[in-house]
Amino acid sequence: MGLVVQKYGGSSVADAASVKRVAQRIAETKRAGNDVVVVVSAMGDTTDELIELAEQVTPVPSGRELDMLLTAGERISMAVVAMALGNLGIEARSFTGSQAGVITDSAHGKARIIDVTPGRISQALSEGAVAIVAGFQGVSQDTKDITTLGRGGSDTTAVALAAALQAEVCEIYTDVDGVYSADPRIVPAARRLPHLAYEEMMEMAACGAKVLHLRCVEYARRFTLPIHVRSSFSHRTGTWISDNPPTPDLASGTLDEEGTEVEQPIISAVAHDRSEAKVTVVGVPDKPGEAARIFRAVAEAGTNIDMIVQNVSSVATGRADISFTLPKTDGATAVAALRKVQPAIGFDDILFDDSIGKVSLIGAGMRSHPGVSATFFDALATAGVNVEIISTSEIRISVVVRGDSVDEAVRAIHTAFDLDSDEGATVYAGTGR
Amino acid sequence: MGLVVQKYGGSSVADAASVKRVAQRIAETKRAGNDVVVVVSAMGDTTDELIELAEQVTPVPSGRELDMLLTAGERISMAVVAMALGNLGIEARSFTGSQAGVITDSAHGKARIIDVTPGRISQALSEGAVAIVAGFQGVSQDTKDITTLGRGGSDTTAVALAAALQAEVCEIYTDVDGVYSADPRIVPAARRLPHLAYEEMMEMAACGAKVLHLRCVEYARRFTLPIHVRSSFSHRTGTWISDNPPTPDLASGTLDEEGTEVEQPIISAVAHDRSEAKVTVVGVPDKPGEAARIFRAVAEAGTNIDMIVQNVSSVATGRADISFTLPKTDGATAVAALRKVQPAIGFDDILFDDSIGKVSLIGAGMRSHPGVSATFFDALATAGVNVEIISTSEIRISVVVRGDSVDEAVRAIHTAFDLDSDEGATVYAGTGR
């Protein structure tokens, strides 16, 4: 047996009863002979409640102080989980991000990990204790101030610690039992994926799959650390994320319930995302550099653009339309920035459309299989779904469609690529988040 | 102007509105040209809620983890106070006990401060910021684990930091406006004391006055650091605690509202305490060493004994009775310990009486004034109060009386020593805690 890092999210430690259940699970892992490091998020809604408290005091809290405040959340959960383990006769010691050696830059609220020096964790493990570590937090290398890692922070803490400690696996416990071939609320026949390559999971995260954050998968890929996404409510194998499907020696995750090896499909999953909006800049003078001026204006407003399409310029007018997608929440800022440069660039108008959705097909197999695009667009055409923007990578095809066509598009593609499970919806054991 | 350390208790920062009020007060002090360090307790009932959470998970939490858990309370309040100051345009930085350099031993839940190295606080002050420090917590010198200081912890943090930073004064803000000559709920004519010597305040704390903990006054005396106890709900001068009444140069606290200097009375105050019980060991063989065996048994059970009296031994039986007082909460443990040694020592019986009260007269003036004892016991006799145990120091007389005689005894003594205020009850502005 070796070293296992387990991460439990806020819903897994929402109250005392959940904490006790999680402690039981950690105790089992420890008693099976493993060294165990556990990363926890704040209990349930604690973080939201702390943010609300801050808002009662000031509309613009300092980043340093907001981080100091929010890190109280994990401090509570980690101490309580350690106590619950103690109650089961397992020695456990909790550590803040700072104590665990999670060294970051000084960007409060969205700090990046720049080093992990888990000396105290190794010490605790060598003394036979389980180490419980606060997720989402670190300490700034320059200022020694407490920082938080922002979105996906606790998952990233877990992966970073697992990499630094050379753990065998980083287990991410959540309230669904793995990554699915599509959202089971839309496709009841979606199936749990036993394995995904890092880049597939990264594309899925970038395309709206919420189970793992892009950042933590990137980190795991850099260190070739296997991630196992699984449910804290059941003991079944979830989804393994690694370079190659794991061998039976490495873990039980390679075999499905019947003990037969799962064949890696060509196409892995259909993802969708309703969080984006589309901006169309109408009548852009068709001169070199005009598109660059538009995107520079948007970038300087702090917005990340996702997909871009430029219409063929009209010979009559010498003008073209440029459309792009961006997070809905950045819409107002981006449009305002464009209005400012409108006189200088001389385009005609700006259209903002937040009734769109993005649907993506992902699979490492597609790079070596011809005909994927044909099947993809045939399926959409047959379902009567109109495509507004297209973007592709080696292992992904994404389209922007009307928001009310998203479900239909996901279902049509899922069926067209034979992703539907034989077992129907029964495999989905999650709570639907 | 110089350096002021202010400490605000949990009731002063109970909610967002209170935090904003406190921030206003800190901002005033800063704008008046002072360097300001603020020590805060956890907001309102936070600590009790965290203890309750721990109890839901385990009946016997590890001391290390309970300290980790409880210190989340001050982390929240200090960050919120810093944010509220930021909102008033005052730069403020919060620091945990560890960051503030509060170094302790490893006795979780009741750690002693062994060093204070406030380098980061000095740095923040030199950069013009207000430093907000978590009270009640520190970091163990040996294990680097987070510790809590136990009872009176936040006051002690404030005094320790003030001493280490050579502050001019440590202001303890509470919900009463100073230390009174008696509990105003019992003696409506009790008066606020403008000044107390350290040893007077120490005797008062030891005799039941709750406004300051003995430990923090001891610490202040060791460093000759003036303490100013005052209300966070008003701007009036409270009670100064120092070696000598402060000169008008040092602070406004020497002068009362009319601007006349307050004469230091011979006797300062009457304190009372209903938290003790009396144990009587009946029929102890009158041989050398028997009393020692009794007290050793009680001490080994972890109980602190307060007052002791031994009856004159009966010539007929060769036996004596020994009575002593101890905290009510230690009663069961002490009696059990005595039952165990009863056969070996051979005393007759143990009586436990928790219907007692202790009443004490305190004043540095009494050591040089004859007749204090006579006036004291005359007053009790006239009031018909029976005295069960007597104990004295150079600046204190304490008696144990029936619990239902405490109020009467306090009033009689207060009046006999001319402590009643001319203004009556109007001087008492606190909430009665």
Count of alpha carbons within 13 angstroms of residue A375, beta-carbon side: 13
Region A233-251 average pLDDT:
76
pLDDT (tens digit per residue) in A332-374 = 999 999 999 999 999 999 999 999 999 999 998 887 787 899 9
Do residues B206 and B238 share a domain? yes
Domain that holds residue B164: 3-259
Q: Give the residue with greater pLDDT, A290 vs A230.
A: A230
Do residues B227 and B324 share a domain? no
Q: Is A222 annotated as a binding residue?
A: no
Query: Which residues of A make CB contacts under 8 Å with B?
Result: 16, 19-20, 50, 53-54, 56-62, 64-66, 68-69, 71-73, 75-76, 78-80, 82-84, 86-87, 92-94, 99, 120, 144
**A382 domain residue, yes or no:** no
Last residue of a domain, one of B347, B376, B401: B347
Do residues B177 and B56 share a domain? yes
**B62 domain residue, yes or no:** yes
Four-residue CA torsion sign, B412, B414, B417, B422? negative
pLDDT (tens digit per residue) in B82-119 = 999 999 999 999 999 999 999 999 999 999 999 999 99
Q: Is pLDDT above 70 for B260?
A: no
B3 exposed, middle or buried (CB, 10 Å; 0-12, 13-18, 19+)?
Answer: middle
Do residues B137 and B255 share a domain? yes
Q: Give the residue with greater pLDDT, A315 vs B401.
A: B401
Q: Give the residue with greater pLDDT, B429 vs A283.
A: A283
Q: Which of A76, A84, A99 sits opposite B58 (nearest CB)?
A: A84
Query: Which residues of B make CB contacts under 8 Å with A?
Result: 16, 19-20, 23, 50, 53-54, 56-62, 64-66, 68-69, 71-73, 75-76, 78-80, 82-84, 86-87, 92-94, 99, 120, 144
Q: What is the pTM of this model?
A: 0.84
CATH number at residue B313: 3.30.70.260
A98 exposed, middle or buried (CB, 10 Å; 0-12, 13-18, 19+)?
Answer: buried
**How many domains does the structure of chain B reveal?**
2
**B124 domain residue, yes or no:** yes
Q: Identify the band that residue B424 occupies on the pLDDT scale cut at 50, 70 and 90.
A: very low
**A40 domain residue, yes or no:** yes
Q: Is pLDDT above 90 for A280?
A: yes
Q: What per-residue confidence (pLDDT) applies to B152?
A: 86
Q: Identify the band that residue B423 occupies on the pLDDT scale cut at 50, 70 and 90.
A: low
Q: What per-residue confidence (pLDDT) applies to A264?
A: 52
Region A322-331 average pLDDT:
92
CATH number at residue B26: 3.40.1160.10
**A275 domain residue, yes or no:** no
CB-CB neighbors (< 8 A) of B20 in chain A:
57
**B358 domain residue, yes or no:** no
Alpha-carbon distance of B272 to B408, in angstroms, equals 11
Q: Is pLDDT above 90 for B386?
A: yes
Last residue of a domain, one of B227, B259, B291: B259
Do residues B217 and B124 share a domain? yes
User: Would you say how long chain B is, in residues?
Assistant: 433
Q: Is A8 annotated as a binding residue?
A: yes
Region B260-278 average pLDDT:
79
Determine the distance in angstroms separating the CA of B144 from the nearest CA of chain A, rounded to an integer: 9
**B431 domain residue, yes or no:** no
Four-residue CA torsion sign, A294, A296, A300, A305? positive
8 Å CB contact between A208 and A273? yes
Q: Give the residue with greater pLDDT, A421 vs B330.
A: B330
Q: Is pLDDT above 60 for A251?
A: no
CB-CB neighbors (< 8 A) of B123 in chain A:
none
- The amino acid that residue B314 corresponds to is S
Do residues B337 and B211 share a domain? no
Q: What per-residue confidence (pLDDT) applies to B303?
A: 86
Q: Give the residue with greater pLDDT, B355 vs A318.
A: B355
DSSP letter (8 states) at residue A311: P
Last residue of a domain, one of B299, B331, B347: B347
Alpha-carbon distance of B41 to A299, in angstroms, equals 44
- Which residue reads 């509105």 in tokens? B17
Do residues B177 and B226 share a domain? yes
pLDDT (tens digit per residue) in B279-291 = 999 999 888 888 8
**B384 domain residue, yes or no:** no
Report percent pLDDT > 90 for chain A. 76
Do residues B285 and B149 share a domain? no
Q: Identify the band that residue A432 occupies on the pLDDT scale cut at 50, 70 and 90.
A: very low
Report percent pLDDT > 90 for chain B. 76
Q: How far is CA A7 from CA A131, A220, B99, in A?
A: 12, 14, 28
Do residues B140 and B196 share a domain? yes
Q: What per-residue confidence (pLDDT) applies to B245?
A: 67
Determine the distance in angstroms separating the CA of B20 from the nearest CA of chain A, rounded to an integer: 7
Do residues B244 and B339 share a domain? no
Q: What per-residue confidence (pLDDT) applies to B249?
A: 43
Do residues B218 and B306 share a domain? no
Do residues B309 and B186 share a domain? no
8 Å CB contact between B80 and B43? yes
- The amino acid that residue B177 corresponds to is D
